[in-house]
Amino acid sequence: MLEDRGFSTVALGAVRAQMEKTRPPRGLWTPSQLGRPLGEPGDPAFQRRVLMAALGLLERTDGPVILEDFHEDPPGWADNPAWSAPAVPLPVSLPTTPEAWEHAFAEELRQLMPAWRRARARFGRTTTGLSFQQPDAWPAFAAQCLAGALPTVEGYETAALALRFLCDDIKAFHGEAAQADGPAPSSQQVDTWFWRRTVGGALLQALRLVAMQSENNALNTVGGRFFVPAPWVAA
């Protein structure tokens, strides 16, 4: 409709199959993480190259559908050998009760808190806060959900939304703590550390299973779609 009215458009996409199905008039696929169509934060040179490639499709007249692939991988995909993950030991065996999960997660948060505060000072901001809860309240809230309760918080009327955004806060907290000191890690390094070597990552896997087994349809939906990215779902 926009094109019919004389407005030329270009779509940036991170999922090639989706672009092939939706067939925008002009589309540029970028091999970036979801939410980062122009590439990694803090890399204006790469972002400009992506943007110029996208705008360059406006000069093409060989449509009606033009789909192109951006030829560069974001530099942030490459692991940084100089980065070291925060030293938080994963328990030999994962907790098996809500109370044990609460204790183990609270201890990990305690150990990571200094690094998270350094990261907040380093970057001048934090992306945590979506859950409307402070970190010291996260373990108990998660434990209630693991026990089958449907707790809510002020700001969210349903347990599904409250838990969804708690999971987002946990991921953000760990991701920021991982970047508190030294050189920047790759996205893959942060994800591997979080999903394979932290109590927080294991907790989100456990919450996903509980949510998907719940009789609450909203919890089923958010648990299956938002708690754990598909590449990291435990087998």
End of a domain among 14, 42, 77? 77
Same domain, 105 and 73: no
Q: Are residues 71 and 102 in the same domain?
A: no
Q: Give residue-wise pLDDT tens across range 177-229.
A: 999 999 989 888 999 999 999 999 999 999 999 999 999 999 999 999 999 99
Q: Which of 47, 77, 107 is the last residue in one of the domains? A: 77
| 199 SS3 class | helix
- Does residue 61 sit in the same domain as residue 108? no
Do residues 108 and 209 both lie within one domain?
yes
Q: What is the pTM of this model?
A: 0.83
Same domain, yes or no: 58 and 164: no
* 82 belongs to a structural domain: no
The per-residue pLDDT for range 9-38, each reduced to its tens digit, is 999 998 889 999 999 999 999 988 878 889
H or E element in which residue 176 lies: helix 159-177
Examine the domain organization and report whether 72 and 117 are in the same domain: no
89 part of a folded domain? no
Judged by average pLDDT, the poorest of 32-46, 126-140, 160-174 is: 32-46
Tell whether 188 and 107 lie within a shared domain: yes
Q: Which are the contacts of 206, defined by CB distance < 8 A and separation ≥ 6?
A: 94, 101, 146
Residue 118 lies in a domain: yes
| Domain boundary, last residue among 44, 77, 110 | 77
Q: Is the pLDDT of residue 124 over 80?
A: yes
Q: How many domains does the chain have?
A: 2
Give pLDDT, residue 91: 84
103 plus 154 within the same structural domain: yes
> What is the per-residue pLDDT for 130?
97
Q: Is residue 13 part of a domain?
A: yes
Integer Cα distance of 223 and 7 in angstroms: 39
Range of the structural domain that residue 187 is part of: 98-232
Q: What's residue 144's pLDDT?
A: 98
| Pair 116, 195 in one domain | yes
Q: What angle, 0 to 180 degrees and rounded to 10, lies between the N-to-C axes of helices 159-177 and 199-213?
A: 160
In a domain, 90, yes or no: no
Domain co-membership, 169 together with 227: yes
Same-domain status, 227 and 137:
yes
The reply to whether 114 and 20 lie within a common domain is no
CB atoms within 10 A of CB 134: 10
